[in-house]
């Protein structure tokens, strides 16, 4: 989900609480808040030798014993306003970093508003080969074998089946 889409939902739901819905169906604690907004730029070579770039907006979350601390849509919009000089554009995919035993980053899949809350639904990230046309072996040539060449309805007699 793009940052521009997230900001639009936040603006349409002023003073609503925020919840982070994890890919496993659980939620981050209700007092989780965003401690960092970052623009991450990645330059890399894929396994086929192609130079690639990507950029995203990462929201780092954190929670402690301060259970009265609540993040609202208004507060997050103010954080985004402070981060404009770093983000440079709203045309960035958003992902969320959270701690669940290990530090994990998940893409923001969708956002839904209900009951004075905005739920940020995180999705799973998967690896993939970006150069399948160069890395995978070529498809095997079509075989000359065809089951249509056989006469399955013709009865077999004697030793004909093994001849």
Q: What are phi and psi of 143, to 5 degrees?
A: -80, 150
- Residue 72 pLDDT > 90: yes
Mean pLDDT of the chain: 89
Q: How far apart are CA 77 and CA 125, in angstroms?
A: 25
Q: How far apart are CA 31 and CA 58, in angstroms?
A: 19
What are the residue ranges spanned by the domains of the chain? 3-129
What secondary structure letter does DSSP report for 159? T
- DSSP β-ladder status, 93-100 and 51-62: parallel
pLDDT tier, 68 (very low <50, low <70, confident <90, very high otherwise)? confident
Query: What was the pLDDT predicted at 156?
Result: 60
Per the model's pLDDT, the better-predicted residue between 132 and 14 turns out to be 14
Q: HSE of 45 in the Cβ direction (CA atoms, 13 Å)?
A: 3
Residues 123-128 have a mean pLDDT of 92
pLDDT tier, 144 (very low <50, low <70, confident <90, very high otherwise)? low
Query: What was the pLDDT predicted at 43?
Result: 98
- Residue 85 host element (H or E): helix 73-87
Give the sign of the dihedral formed by CA 61, CA 66, CA 72, CA 77: negative
% of residues, the chain, pLDDT over 90: 69
pLDDT tier, 59 (very low <50, low <70, confident <90, very high otherwise)? very high
Contact 79, 36 (CB under 8 A): no
Query: What was the pLDDT predicted at 51?
Result: 97
């Amino acid at each position: 989900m793009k940052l521009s889409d997230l900001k639009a939902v936040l603006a349409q739901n002023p003073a609503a609480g925020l919840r982070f819905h994890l890919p496993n169906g659980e939620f981050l604690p209700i007092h989780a808040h965003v401690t960092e907004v970052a623009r991450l730029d990645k330059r890399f070579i894929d396994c086929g030798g192609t130079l690639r770039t990507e950029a995203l907006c990462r929201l780092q979350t954190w929670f402690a014993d301060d259970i009265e601390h609540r993040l609202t849509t208004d507060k997050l919009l103010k954080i985004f306003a402070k981060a404009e000089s770093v983000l440079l554009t709203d045309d960035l995919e958003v992902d969320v970093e959270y701690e669940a035993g290990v530090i994990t980053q998940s893409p923001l899949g969708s956002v839904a508003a209900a009951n004075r809350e905005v739920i940020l639904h995180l999705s799973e990230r998967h690896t993939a080969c970006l150069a399948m046309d160069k890395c995978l072996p070529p498809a095997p040539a079509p075989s000359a074998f065809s089951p249509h060449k056989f006469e399955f309805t013709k009865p077999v007699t004697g030793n004909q089946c093994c001849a």
